[in-house]
Structure 1
Amino acid sequence: MTELLDEARRERVRSGWWRTAVIYQVYIRSFADADGDGVGDLPGLRSRLGYLADLGVDALWVTPFYPSPMADFGYDVADYRDVDPTFGTLADAEGLIADAHALGLKVIFDIVPNHTSDRHPWFQEALAAGPGSPARERYIFRDGRGPNGELPPNDWESVFGGPAWTRVADGQWYLHLFASAQPDLNWENPEVRAEFESILRFWLDRGVDGFRIDVAHGMVKAPGLPDVGHTGQTSMLGTQVLPYFDQDGVHEIHRSWRRLLDSYPGERIGVAEAWAPTPERLANYVRPDELHQAFNFHYLSADWDADALREVIDASLATSAMVGAPTTWVLSNHDVKRHVTRYGDGALGLRRARAAALLTLALPGSAYIYQGEELGLPEVLDLPEEVCQDPQRLRGPDAGRDGCRVPMPWSPGEPPYGFSPPGVKRTWLPMPTTWAALSVEAQREDPNSMLSLYRTALRIRRERPELGEGTLTWLDSPSKTLVFARSGGDGEGTLVCTVNLGPEPVELPAYGEPLLASAPVSTDGSTVRIPPDAAAWWTRG
């Protein structure tokens, strides 16, 4: 497979690779199952690396595969230096890094520093040690309020719903901003900081190229743990500063991690999963001495509307430029409803998703692809109640994330569509009986498929200097459209991206020769006609 390592990819990974990289998110449980238990694993991922290299991405981010009780599907870690038997062995993780590097792919692992599993040895020790012990100082234990301490220490709410505190047998309460099986660590404790530096070194020494930092905005809590004063706090996430999220103290931690990353060769990176109320506060995470990237959730959550998208794009570019960082663009991930469905589902959602792919991949900076979006996978909205397992469903029946985590279809036929070895019928989440036409093999040779659109767009992105770093210049265009130009860093060549987000066709001036379109466009030489919910790339040289 090494012949897939083309010179364009070699050049992209030599220096500053992360500034323009296209990074593919692998949700490990749902990507490829090698051992036949219906759950994706590291050997399955290793067997499909050629697909990712052929797709044209630069790197892959792998969600947690560490030993875990799976209360939150791996985001409740019991041991940060090993691999859960469900997913393989430590040798498989090391082999994944080596195999990916042989194909010119960088590898980013997920790290979960805000909380551990309640099965982690530290937390078990804390429960046994009792109030006031050094073991409890690694976590956030507090006495309760009320005459007998029967009330939680404050009014904080879990992201998954309900109070963010659980009482233990001796009467104290411990903080968990997520599930009760995910106790929050105390990052004021030097032992916690030293432990995570050791964990990062463990994986960096094995060649990993960086870390996606889960809840990067949550490790530091406001002094005194003050009340929020409001109920329904999940509605405030990403819109307001909360006493437990986006506190200024997190940045000292990230600066220390940046120094550690910089001490290793090969431009190892840190990527913040950070929810911040403004683009300006999000930019703080990617200042020159902090992390390299932060997910741009403001772009992900923007409506399919020209004005809304332009506002988010402008704000994102302006604030990231203030700190000299690249902007990231993401349409879906394992925590949100897939964008095919968010944009309208069915034919409408698919049209918009095709256009959104070309818009996203034409923007300056780095882009993330969530596994299956290159196939046009929709959210699975009709999963039987008895198979839904996401703890976020505690918020309500429609709050779960199971529908975006259904396994990948690889080949036509019947479920599980090549996700598991032959003979296996049952996967950890059931797959729709209508997905045969969406499988990789069904789309691979179809020039009009979503997969072909992504492969072509990523090839052009690698080949065209205009689609690296640089400026974006908006061009005048009618209402409900976006038109912008990207120029090469050497001053040669201009690529123009046109997007019609409206319900009717629009006519635009001809911007050069057509490169790629999400839907058929027509031109008479001086004008072009763009269908509804469509995008096209044009070149002037």
Structure 2
Amino acid sequence: MAQHGDVTPDTAVPPATAPSTEPHAWWRHAVIYQVYPRSFADGDGDGMGDLAGVTAKLPYLRDLGVDAVWLSPFYTSPQADAGYDVSDYRDVDPLFGSLADAEQLIAEAHELGIRVVVDLVPNHTSDEHAWFQAALAAGPGSPERARYIFKDGRGEHGELPPTNWRSVFGGSAWTRVTEADGRPGQWYLNLFDSKQPDLDWEHPEVREEFHDILRFWLDRGVDGFRVDVAHGLAKDQSFRDWDAHTEMISGDGEAHPTSASPYWDQDGVHEIYRGWRQVLDAHNPEGDPERDRILCAEAWVTPIERLVAYTRPDEMHQAFNFDFLDSPWRAADLVERITRSLEAAQSVGAPTTWVLSNHDVVRHATRLGYPVGSPRMNGIDATCPQPDAALGLRRARAATALMLALPGSAYLYQGEELGLPDHTTLPDELREDPAYHRTKGTPEAEIGRDGCRIPLPWVGGAPGNGFGPSERTWLPQPDAYADLAANLQAGQPGSTLELYRTLLATRRELDLGVGALDWQQGYGEDVVAVVNERGTDRLLVLANLGDEAVPLPDGSEVVVASGPLTPEGLVPTDTTVWARTR
């Protein structure tokens, strides 16, 4: 979440330690596939995806060619924010199955050569978590309340919030409680929904609890953790006012570094993750890079020099490159962001972690269907200008082909291998995203993220397009999904699914994830042209974003292309080609 503010702080970060000596550890070049469990596959027919559904589809993911899966939260939760409001971090919500189902999924994934990364939500718990319920019962000044951020209100009777901080989901970031005696009481911080109270990471009991949660899942075989809101745990203890609109990536982070905020990207987060890294490293005492357990930061942090601080050798292994995700579809922007990202990551000895879509943003097959330079929307509904679906898919295929040719790791979001768009006409009465409900009717109104979270189509034309054994789906699928179902694309030359399979197989065969880039000149300002070098092997990657088709070098051998070339063998607009050259 990029923030806006008027303060321009010193953006320096503490110096990095020595770069890693394991350049080929699995996580440095892995392709990791995000599974959003409620929308991936339904095993029992209730219309909600579950762990049994994921386990049944593991052979599909093996055949796709990914190295690991990342599972969004499946923990016990009242589901106020689709599971990102956790009430028990050591159990599985019955909605998704059982702890035994999770253990079976991990075991079967490992048998297929797929590692498993799970989501961890440390910034906040559910208000139904046992700790928070104890805090409410115990009252002001109690040890139970010290685990969270409770403050007395301002005003004559404490009727005003302690600060003017605003929730990411709209409205105040503070919620007032009613004390046991019935009187209005203290306020607790919730940077997201009021059912997601922020933990106080100054408290040693909070830190030790999460060390234990890490060990719990490591002991069950997980290979790593994607850390939700990784930049939000530490707060400026002055609790100064900061009147800024907080939203998902806004595009102006360079003007307003996240460290300007009193609650985003505080330097104190780094000490927390050094402790976590020690816990993970203890589960691989031999230091075998193939047995590394990893941490990946979801940190909407700018500038990128502060982002890579999360991936110093004694902290996290990866951090999502949202700067790349948010790049305009222009060659100069892509070249600049790729170059800067690699340079910044290299400064701390880390890989760059590329990503184009996830469960929080409009899918790139939809996002790229708008004219270049259009403002990026936080959700799309029927009242919005509708994207050009064919254009969006063509550009999305080209963007993915460019991304998967780059050195470093990469994340894919479920269904992007089918070319799935957002549901851009979902009826408002079916929306569940708290961001939609909290901001509705306000100047900060957001349509929300439901459109990118639609259940996947597995069998075109079947009830629910094969999402499960019944016709039920927790959100309705758009009509376009029937023709994009996995069974209709499998084995079909030119389909998006087969393109992804080819890209991933070729990336692995050619070790593109550990290559070095050599930018090529002379192709014009609308072309991204780079060679991925691995020893004596050289692969030209050419993405044409211009209006005119461009030639490949004489004697080029096309390895894979995101779309058909012209009859003359030229690379048309919005197409990426991988080619061997003389």
Compute the displacement of 1:188 (Å): 0.4
Asked if the contact 1:39–1:86 (Cα under 8 Å) also holds between the matched residues in 2, the reply is yes
> For 1:234, which of 247, 251, 255 is the aligned residue?
247
Structure 1 letter corresponding to 2:517: L
Structure 2 letter corresponding to 1:323: V
Say whether 1:54 aligns with 2:102: no
Compute the displacement of 1:223 (Å): 1.6
Compute the displacement of 1:523 (Å): 8.0
CA distance in 2 between partners of 1:475 and 1:368 (Å): 26
* Residue equivalent to 1:8: none
* Residue equivalent to 1:408: 456
Between 474-483 and 515-524, the greater mean CA deviation after superposition? 515-524
> For 2:280, which of 250, 261, 281 is the aligned residue?
261
* Residue equivalent to 1:193: 207
Q: Which structure 1 residue ranges, 5 or more long, are not aligned?
A: 1-12
Asked if the contact 1:212–1:273 (Cα under 8 Å) also holds between the matched residues in 2, the reply is yes
Summarize deviations over 1:413-461 as a string: whole Å, max 9, x none. 144111110xx22211011233221000000021110000000000101
Compute the displacement of 1:232 (Å): 2.5
CA distance in 1 between partners of 2:333 and 2:236 (Å): 33
Aligned pairs, how many? 520
Structure 2 letter corresponding to 1:327: T
* Residue equivalent to 2:487: 441
Compute the displacement of 1:177 (Å): 0.3
* Residue equivalent to 1:244: 263
Summarize deviations over 1:243-285 as a string: whole Å, max 9, x none. 1110000000011111111111210000000111111000000
Say whether 1:307 aligns with 2:307: no
Provide the TM-score with structure 1 as the length reference.
0.94
Say whether 1:502 aligns with 2:502: no
Summarize deviations over 1:67-120 as a string: whole Å, max 9, x none. 000000100000000000000000000011100000000000000000000000
CA 511–69 in structure 1, closer or farther in 2 if over 3 Å, else same: farther
CA 14–291 in structure 1, closer or farther in 2 if over 3 Å, else same: closer
Compute the displacement of 1:323 (Å): 0.2
Compute the displacement of 1:502 (Å): 1.7
CA 235–49 in structure 1, closer or farther in 2 if over 3 Å, else same: closer
CA distance in 2 between partners of 1:250 and 1:404 (Å): 30
Say whether 1:32 aligns with 2:79: no
Asked if the contact 1:30–1:405 (Cα under 8 Å) also holds between the matched residues in 2, the reply is yes
* 1:343-354 paired onto structure 2 within 5 Å: 343-344=368-369, 345-354=388-397
CA distance in 2 between partners of 1:125 and 1:358 (Å): 51
* Residue equivalent to 2:574: 533
* 1:3-402 paired onto structure 2 within 5 Å: 16-170=25-179, 171-228=185-242, 230-234=243-247, 239-240=256-257, 241=259, 242-265=261-284, 266-344=291-369, 345-393=388-436, 394-396=438-440, 398-402=446-450
Compute the displacement of 1:147 (Å): 1.0
CA distance in 2 between partners of 1:319 and 1:215 (Å): 21
Q: Which structure 2 residue ranges, 5 or more long, are not aligned?
A: 1-21, 180-184, 285-290, 370-387
Provide the TM-score with structure 2 as the length reference.
0.87
Aligned-residue RMSD, C-alpha: 1.6
Asked if the contact 1:415–1:433 (Cα under 8 Å) also holds between the matched residues in 2, the reply is no
Say whether 1:512 aligns with 2:537: no
CA distance in 2 between partners of 1:351 and 1:408 (Å): 20
* Residue equivalent to 1:471: 516
Asked if the contact 1:415–1:432 (Cα under 8 Å) also holds between the matched residues in 2, the reply is no
CA 14–221 in structure 1, closer or farther in 2 if over 3 Å, else same: closer
* Residue equivalent to 1:428: 474
Runs of 4+ aligned residues of structure 1 deviating over 2 Å after TM superposition are 230-241, 394-399, 506-512
SS in 1 for 2:514: coil
Between 248-257 and 386-395, the greater mean CA deviation after superposition? 386-395
Asked if the contact 1:511–1:538 (Cα under 8 Å) also holds between the matched residues in 2, the reply is no
Compute the displacement of 1:43 (Å): 0.4
CA distance in 1 between partners of 2:432 and 2:131 (Å): 26
- Identity, in percent, stands at 59
Structure 2 letter corresponding to 1:538: A
Asked if the contact 2:249–2:326 (Cα under 8 Å) also holds between the matched residues in 1, the reply is no
CA 438–235 in structure 1, closer or farther in 2 if over 3 Å, else same: closer
Compute the displacement of 1:507 (Å): 3.1
Summarize deviations over 1:273-298 as a string: whole Å, max 9, x none. 01111110000000011100000000
Structure 1 letter corresponding to 2:225: F
Compute the displacement of 1:236 (Å): 8.3
Asked if the contact 2:39–2:454 (Cα under 8 Å) also holds between the matched residues in 1, the reply is yes
